[in-house]
Amino acid sequence: MHWRVPVAPAPTRQLVDSIENALSHIAGCLTEESALLVWESAVRLERLSVDALRRVAWTSVAARNCAHSVNGLSDSGLETLAVVRLTPWGIPIRQQILIAGHRVDLLIGERLVVQIDGFAHHSTSAQRTRDTAHDAELALRGYTVLRFTYAQVVHDWPAVERVIARAIASGAHNAR
């Protein structure tokens, strides 16, 4: 059990609390990385305004940090995880950029596309065919495309990180 000063008045006769109070608890109970994953998911699923979250008078440093870091651009928790872990490298990362008629998960620098395939959106033959066709079009336009699965991102992040680092070391992120 834990207790925090509520950010929003807590209902007295309900078991349901405000999203702000829930996010405050999450920021205080989870690691910064895990909390940000939940905050990004909440923004997407609950259609929360990032600007409104930043205006809340958060009562903890952890919640203020999450409010500052959340951007609402992640299409999945996997994408958030990758951004959180790659951002300290200091190379510009843009999310959900439209290139060749389709959105890409991450664009690192000017030319390195990182696609993260969660099972829900990449499990059918038709979806895989669209992914492959888009990868080919991106390659023809001079992009380097790296595609990773849920299992790779969640269970073997060091290997994913090494591949991305090698691509950056070879200049794949730079405009040609």
- With respect to residue 2, please indicate whether it lies within any of the assigned structural domains: no
- With respect to residue 8, please indicate whether it lies within any of the assigned structural domains: no
* CA-closest candidate to residue 114, choices 80, 154, 146, 75: 146
Residue-wise pLDDT tens digits, 32-54: 999 999 999 999 999 999 999 99
User: Measured between alpha carbons, how far apart are the two ends of the chain, in Å?
Assistant: 56
Based on the fold, state whether residues 92 and 136 are members of the same structural domain.
yes
* CA-closest candidate to residue 42, choices 16, 24, 65: 24
pTM of the complete model: 0.82
Tokens of residue 31, six digits: 């690691």
Based on the fold, state whether residues 144 and 122 are members of the same structural domain.
yes
pLDDT for 2: 57
More confident residue, 17 or 158: 158
Residue 1 pLDDT > 50: no
- With respect to residue 13, please indicate whether it lies within any of the assigned structural domains: no
- With respect to residue 86, please indicate whether it lies within any of the assigned structural domains: yes
Domain that holds residue 120: 77-169
More confident residue, 173 or 18: 173
Based on the fold, state whether residues 111 and 158 are members of the same structural domain.
yes
- With respect to residue 149, please indicate whether it lies within any of the assigned structural domains: yes
pLDDT for 7: 80
Based on the fold, state whether residues 58 and 133 are members of the same structural domain.
no
Residue 115 pLDDT > 80: yes
Identify the CATH number of the domain in which residue 131 sits.
Answer: 3.40.960.10
Mean pLDDT of 143-170: 96
Residue-wise pLDDT tens digits, 80-108: 999 999 999 999 999 999 999 999 999 99
More confident residue, 138 or 1: 138
